[in-house]
Protein backbone atom coordinates (compact mmCIF):
# COMPACT_ATOMS: atom_id res chain seq x y z
CA UNK A 1 0.00 0.00 0.00
CA UNK A 2 1.42 3.38 -0.97
CA UNK A 3 1.79 5.89 1.79
CA UNK A 4 -0.24 9.08 1.72
CA UNK A 5 1.20 12.02 3.62
CA UNK A 6 -0.97 14.85 4.85
CA UNK A 7 0.61 17.99 6.21
CA UNK A 8 -1.47 19.62 8.94
CA UNK A 9 -0.54 23.28 9.40
CA UNK A 10 -2.05 24.50 12.65
CA UNK A 11 -0.69 26.06 15.82
CA UNK A 12 -3.39 24.47 17.98
CA UNK A 13 -2.01 21.26 19.50
CA UNK A 14 -5.47 19.92 20.30
CA UNK A 15 -6.58 20.19 16.68
CA UNK A 16 -3.33 18.60 15.49
CA UNK A 17 -3.75 15.66 17.86
CA UNK A 18 -7.39 15.24 16.94
CA UNK A 19 -6.56 15.28 13.23
CA UNK A 20 -3.55 13.00 13.60
CA UNK A 21 -5.60 10.40 15.41
CA UNK A 22 -8.48 10.43 12.98
CA UNK A 23 -6.48 10.73 9.79
CA UNK A 24 -4.10 7.94 10.81
CA UNK A 25 -7.19 5.73 11.13
CA UNK A 26 -7.66 6.23 7.40
CA UNK A 27 -4.15 4.97 6.79
CA UNK A 28 -2.75 8.44 6.12
CA UNK A 29 0.44 9.71 7.72
CA UNK A 30 0.23 13.10 9.32
CA UNK A 31 3.11 15.55 9.12
CA UNK A 32 2.79 18.75 11.10
CA UNK A 33 3.88 22.37 10.94
CA UNK A 34 3.04 24.93 13.57
CA UNK A 35 3.53 28.03 11.45
CA UNK A 36 3.77 29.16 7.86
CA UNK A 37 7.54 29.11 7.59
CA UNK A 38 7.68 25.53 8.83
CA UNK A 39 4.88 24.58 6.44
CA UNK A 40 6.87 25.86 3.45
CA UNK A 41 9.92 23.92 4.61
CA UNK A 42 7.97 20.67 5.08
CA UNK A 43 6.29 20.92 1.68
CA UNK A 44 9.67 21.41 0.03
CA UNK A 45 11.39 18.66 2.01
CA UNK A 46 8.70 15.97 2.32
CA UNK A 47 6.40 16.62 -0.67
CA UNK A 48 3.15 15.75 1.11
CA UNK A 49 0.16 14.54 -0.92
CA UNK A 50 -2.15 17.16 0.59
CA UNK A 51 -1.95 20.16 2.92
CA UNK A 52 -4.58 21.06 5.52
CA UNK A 53 -3.83 24.70 6.09
CA UNK A 54 -5.24 26.75 8.95
CA UNK A 55 -5.87 30.25 7.67
CA UNK A 56 -5.65 31.93 11.08
CA UNK A 57 -1.98 31.23 11.71
CA UNK A 58 0.06 33.55 13.93
CA UNK A 59 2.50 35.98 12.26
CA UNK A 60 2.30 34.91 8.59
CA UNK A 61 -1.33 33.99 7.93
CA UNK A 62 -2.56 31.07 5.86
CA UNK A 63 -3.42 33.28 2.89
CA UNK A 64 0.21 34.35 2.60
CA UNK A 65 1.40 30.75 2.98
CA UNK A 66 -1.01 29.77 0.23
CA UNK A 67 0.23 32.58 -2.01
CA UNK A 68 3.85 31.57 -1.51
CA UNK A 69 3.18 27.85 -1.94
CA UNK A 70 1.34 28.38 -5.18
CA UNK A 71 4.35 30.13 -6.68
CA UNK A 72 6.12 26.79 -6.94
CA UNK A 73 3.93 23.95 -5.75
CA UNK A 74 0.76 22.31 -7.05
CA UNK A 75 0.20 20.28 -3.87
CA UNK A 76 -3.55 20.02 -3.13
CA UNK A 77 -4.49 22.38 -0.31
CA UNK A 78 -7.60 22.51 1.87
CA UNK A 79 -8.01 25.73 3.84
CA UNK A 80 -9.34 25.52 7.39
CA UNK A 81 -10.78 28.52 9.12
CA UNK A 82 -12.93 29.48 12.06
CA UNK A 83 -14.29 32.30 9.89
CA UNK A 84 -17.23 31.13 7.86
CA UNK A 85 -17.79 34.13 5.62
CA UNK A 86 -17.91 33.68 1.89
CA UNK A 87 -15.28 36.35 1.22
CA UNK A 88 -12.62 34.29 3.01
CA UNK A 89 -13.67 31.16 1.20
CA UNK A 90 -13.49 32.84 -2.19
CA UNK A 91 -10.15 34.47 -1.31
CA UNK A 92 -8.79 31.08 -0.29
CA UNK A 93 -9.96 29.44 -3.52
CA UNK A 94 -8.74 32.39 -5.55
CA UNK A 95 -5.27 31.97 -4.10
CA UNK A 96 -5.28 28.40 -5.34
CA UNK A 97 -6.75 26.28 -2.53
CA UNK A 98 -8.62 23.21 -3.70
CA UNK A 99 -11.23 23.36 -0.97
CA UNK A 100 -12.15 25.26 2.17
CA UNK A 101 -13.70 24.02 5.40
CA UNK A 102 -15.02 26.03 8.30
CA UNK A 103 -14.20 25.10 11.89
CA UNK A 104 -15.72 23.43 13.78
CA UNK A 105 -16.02 20.62 11.27
CA UNK A 106 -17.19 17.05 11.54
CA UNK A 107 -14.33 14.65 11.08
CA UNK A 108 -16.34 12.54 8.65
CA UNK A 109 -16.98 15.57 6.46
CA UNK A 110 -13.30 16.48 6.52
CA UNK A 111 -12.26 12.94 5.61
CA UNK A 112 -14.77 12.89 2.75
CA UNK A 113 -13.40 16.19 1.45
CA UNK A 114 -9.80 15.01 1.71
CA UNK A 115 -10.71 11.89 -0.25
CA UNK A 116 -12.49 14.01 -2.86
CA UNK A 117 -9.49 16.32 -3.26
CA UNK A 118 -7.03 13.41 -3.44
CA UNK A 119 -9.27 11.70 -6.00
CA UNK A 120 -9.51 14.88 -8.05
CA UNK A 121 -5.77 15.32 -8.09
CA UNK A 122 -4.98 11.79 -9.10
CA UNK A 123 -3.71 11.46 -12.62
CA UNK A 124 -6.60 10.48 -14.85
CA UNK A 125 -5.39 7.40 -16.65
CA UNK A 126 -8.57 6.84 -18.62
CA UNK A 127 -8.00 6.67 -22.33
CA UNK A 128 -8.80 9.99 -23.95
CA UNK A 129 -11.57 9.86 -26.50
CA UNK A 130 -9.60 12.12 -28.77
CA UNK A 131 -5.86 12.72 -28.70
CA UNK A 132 -5.96 16.48 -28.75
CA UNK A 133 -8.05 19.61 -29.06
CA UNK A 134 -7.19 22.77 -30.92
CA UNK A 135 -8.91 26.10 -30.88
CA UNK A 136 -6.99 28.92 -32.50
CA UNK A 137 -3.70 29.19 -30.68
CA UNK A 138 -4.92 27.04 -27.82
CA UNK A 139 -3.99 23.38 -27.88
CA UNK A 140 -4.77 20.64 -25.37
CA UNK A 141 -2.87 17.37 -25.73
CA UNK A 142 -4.92 14.85 -23.78
CA UNK A 143 -2.29 12.13 -24.06
CA UNK A 144 0.41 14.02 -22.23
CA UNK A 145 -1.95 16.40 -20.38
CA UNK A 146 -0.27 19.41 -21.87
CA UNK A 147 -1.93 22.74 -22.60
CA UNK A 148 -0.23 25.30 -24.83
CA UNK A 149 -1.11 28.71 -26.21
CA UNK A 150 0.95 30.12 -29.03
CA UNK A 151 3.26 27.16 -28.44
CA UNK A 152 3.92 28.20 -24.87
CA UNK A 153 3.04 25.65 -22.20
CA UNK A 154 0.45 26.82 -19.68
CA UNK A 155 0.82 25.60 -16.10
CA UNK A 156 -2.59 24.35 -15.01
CA UNK A 157 -3.42 22.76 -11.68
CA UNK A 158 -4.98 19.27 -11.88
CA UNK A 159 -8.43 20.75 -11.18
CA UNK A 160 -8.02 23.46 -13.80
CA UNK A 161 -6.91 20.86 -16.32
CA UNK A 162 -9.89 18.60 -15.62
CA UNK A 163 -12.27 21.54 -15.97
CA UNK A 164 -10.71 22.60 -19.26
CA UNK A 165 -10.75 19.04 -20.54
CA UNK A 166 -14.44 18.67 -19.72
CA UNK A 167 -15.32 21.97 -21.37
CA UNK A 168 -13.17 21.28 -24.42
CA UNK A 169 -14.59 17.80 -24.94
CA UNK A 170 -18.06 19.32 -24.84
CA UNK A 171 -17.16 22.21 -27.13
CA UNK A 172 -20.24 24.03 -28.36
CA UNK A 173 -22.49 22.51 -25.71
CA UNK A 174 -23.56 24.19 -22.49
CA UNK A 175 -22.54 22.12 -19.50
CA UNK A 176 -24.63 22.76 -16.40
CA UNK A 177 -23.16 23.94 -13.12
CA UNK A 178 -24.29 20.74 -11.42
CA UNK A 179 -22.80 18.56 -14.14
CA UNK A 180 -19.41 20.28 -13.98
CA UNK A 181 -19.31 20.36 -10.19
CA UNK A 182 -20.28 16.70 -9.95
CA UNK A 183 -17.86 15.66 -12.65
CA UNK A 184 -14.82 17.63 -11.51
CA UNK A 185 -15.27 18.00 -7.76
CA UNK A 186 -17.53 15.05 -6.99
CA UNK A 187 -21.24 14.46 -6.30
CA UNK A 188 -21.10 16.05 -2.85
CA UNK A 189 -20.13 19.39 -4.45
CA UNK A 190 -23.01 19.76 -6.90
CA UNK A 191 -24.40 22.90 -5.25
CA UNK A 192 -21.06 24.60 -4.51
CA UNK A 193 -21.11 27.07 -7.39
CA UNK A 194 -18.43 29.27 -5.84
CA UNK A 195 -15.82 26.62 -6.59
CA UNK A 196 -16.78 26.63 -10.22
CA UNK A 197 -16.86 30.43 -10.53
CA UNK A 198 -13.43 30.71 -8.97
CA UNK A 199 -11.87 28.03 -11.15
CA UNK A 200 -13.50 29.35 -14.30
CA UNK A 201 -11.82 32.66 -13.39
CA UNK A 202 -8.46 30.87 -13.02
CA UNK A 203 -8.90 29.13 -16.37
CA UNK A 204 -9.92 32.30 -18.18
CA UNK A 205 -6.89 34.09 -16.82
CA UNK A 206 -4.66 31.37 -18.23
CA UNK A 207 -6.24 30.41 -21.55
CA UNK A 208 -8.19 33.39 -22.86
CA UNK A 209 -6.28 35.75 -25.17
CA UNK A 210 -7.91 38.52 -23.17
CA UNK A 211 -9.41 37.22 -19.90
CA UNK A 212 -11.96 40.07 -19.88
CA UNK A 213 -13.48 39.11 -23.23
CA UNK A 214 -14.44 35.51 -22.37
CA UNK A 215 -13.94 34.46 -25.97
CA UNK A 216 -13.71 30.77 -25.17
CA UNK A 217 -15.44 30.13 -21.85
CA UNK A 218 -18.89 31.61 -22.11
CA UNK A 219 -21.23 31.83 -19.13
CA UNK A 220 -24.87 30.94 -19.71
CA UNK A 221 -26.41 32.66 -16.67
CA UNK A 222 -28.38 30.31 -14.45
CA UNK A 223 -27.44 27.32 -16.59
CA UNK A 224 -23.72 26.70 -16.83
CA UNK A 225 -20.72 27.23 -19.09
CA UNK A 226 -19.94 26.53 -22.71
CA UNK A 227 -16.62 26.33 -24.50
CA UNK A 228 -16.97 28.13 -27.77
CA UNK A 229 -14.57 28.07 -30.63
CA UNK A 230 -14.82 29.39 -34.13
CA UNK A 231 -12.21 27.05 -35.53
CA UNK A 232 -12.15 23.68 -33.85
CA UNK A 233 -9.53 21.39 -35.28
Partner 1 sequence: MSHLESGAMKLEKDWYQVSEILEWADRSLREVTRDHEVSTELPPDLPDVLVDRVRVGQVLINLCENAAKYSGRGGQILISAEISGDSIVISVADKGEGISPREMERVFDRFYRVAGEYDSEEGIGLGLSICRGIVEAHYGEIWVESKVGKGSKFSFSLPIEEKEGSRLRLP
CB-nearer residue toward partner 1: 25 or 187: 25
Q: Distance between CA 71 and CA 190 in Å, rounded? A: 29
Among 24, 64, 69, 37, which Cα is nearest to 51's?
A: 69
- From the CB of 233, what's the least distance to partner 1, in Å? 48
- From the CB of 7, what's the least distance to partner 1, in Å? 10
- From the CB of 134, what's the least distance to partner 1, in Å? 45
Which residue from 2, 3, 125, 126 is in contact with partner 1, where contact means CB under 8 A? 3
β-strands 77-81, 99-102 pairing: parallel
CB-nearer residue toward partner 1: 53 or 93: 53
Q: Distance between CA 14 and CA 42 in Å, rounded? A: 20
- From the CB of 101, what's the least distance to partner 1, in Å? 17
- From the CB of 15, what's the least distance to partner 1, in Å? 8
Instruction: Output the CA angle 103-105-111, nearest 5 degrees.
Output: 130
Footprint on residues 94-133 left by partner 1 (CB under 8 A):
none
The size of the interface with partner 1 (CB under 8 A), counted in residues, is 15
CB-nearer residue toward partner 1: 31 or 229: 31
For the beta carbon of residue 95, count every other beta carbon within 10 angstroms.
19
Three-state DSSP state, 86: helix
Footprint on residues 16-35 left by partner 1 (CB under 8 A):
17-18, 20-21, 24-27, 29-32
> How remote is the C-alpha of 114 from its chain's centroid?
12
Among 189, 216, 201, 217, which Cα is nearest to 113's?
A: 189
Which residue from 14, 45, 155, 212 is in contact with partner 1, where contact means CB under 8 A? 14
> Residue numbers of the site for partner 1 (CB under 8 A)?
3, 5, 14, 17-18, 20-21, 24-27, 29-32
Amino acid sequence: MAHTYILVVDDDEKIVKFLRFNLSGEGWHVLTARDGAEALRVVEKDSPDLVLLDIMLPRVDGFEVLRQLRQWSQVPIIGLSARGDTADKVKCLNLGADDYITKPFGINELIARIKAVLRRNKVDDSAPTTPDFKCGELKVDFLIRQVTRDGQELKLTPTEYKLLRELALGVGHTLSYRYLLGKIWGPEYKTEREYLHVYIGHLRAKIEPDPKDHDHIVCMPGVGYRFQCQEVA
